[in-house]
Amino acid sequence: MGKRIRAQRRGSSPKNRVRSHRFPGKSKVPRIEDEVATVSELVHSPVHTAPLARVRLDNGDEFFIVATEGMGVGQKVAIGNNVALRPGNITTLSQIPEGTPVNNVESRPGDGGKFARSGGNSAVVESNMGDSVRIRLPSGRLKELHSNCRATIGVLGGHGRTDKPMMKAGAAHYRAKARGKLYPTVSGVAMNPVDHPHGGGNHQAVHGPNSVSRHAPPGQKVGHIAPRRTGRGRSKSKED
């Protein structure tokens, strides 16, 4: 009988959970229209790859948004339909010209932002098709969204964070610790059979199926969990 794998041990230990005090707050755009907010502070968040901006409305309400490149303390941020096309302003996709870089793009109108939220990333508005707008995500994938989805104009801050390499293991350790991630990571096929279901053998390979049921116990739940399909995908013929 093997021992509990690392995934099981991490799930039961509070030391592997992200500390809540590391989260300054939610970085979502609230459901407000035709408001002008003022950037009161730029905040470093250990759990985010981009800096956050604390903005304040005229009525005193405050909230966090991801900071656009070039944003500074005291800058005015307009939220609504009739806003100027300057970095940091937030408006619907239907009001943004084609070819404009945007960040923190909503998936559905009013959800606060889902796409292009990593440091230095941005999406590009490709075409406006009436009720829908096609954007190009940072991965290069094209996605059609409702024209009422909001987005922030400009490129997200934090660009160049991956240019400097990790000079020592301690830097990678503290970066992972801030996000509650495991470091260093070891693949299951490199372990012994007692440590992992994929361990053992004369060479590093998964000896047997690597897909498991959604209802498998935690010690067995490694590999592809409840995959929709397995095997090599077949390309469609030209006749199809």
Query: For residue 192, is it within any domain?
Result: no
CA dihedral for 160, 122, 49, 87, sign (positive or negative): positive
Asked if the structure places residue 1 within a domain, the reply is no
Domain extent at residue 67: 21-153
* Residues across the chain: 240
Higher pLDDT, 160 or 226: 226
Q: Note whether residue 238 is domain-resident.
A: no
Maximum separation of any 2 CA atoms in the chain, in Å? 68
Q: Specify if 182 maps to a domain.
A: no
For residue 236, the model assigns a pLDDT of: 61
CATH classification of the domain holding 70 = 2.30.30.30
Give a yes or no: residue 66 inside a domain.
Answer: yes
pLDDT band at 156 (very low <50, low <70, confident <90, very high): very high
Assigned domain for 71 exists: yes
pLDDT for the residue 12: 64
Residue 43 maps to a domain: yes
Q: Tell me which long-range contacts 220-225 makes (C-beta under 8 A, separation of at least 24).
A: 221/7, 222/5, 222/7, 222/188, 222/196, 222/197, 222/198, 223/188, 223/197, 223/198
- Is 140 inside any structural domain? yes
Write the Ramachandran bin of 224: left for phi over 0, alpha for psi from -120 to 50, otherwise beta: beta
Express each pLDDT in 93-120 by its tens digit.
Answer: 999 999 999 999 999 999 999 999 999 9
Nearest to 226 by CA among 237, 215, 235, 236: 215
Q: Is residue 240 pLDDT above 60, yes or no?
A: no
Our count of domains for the chain comes to 1
What is the average pLDDT across 221-239? 80
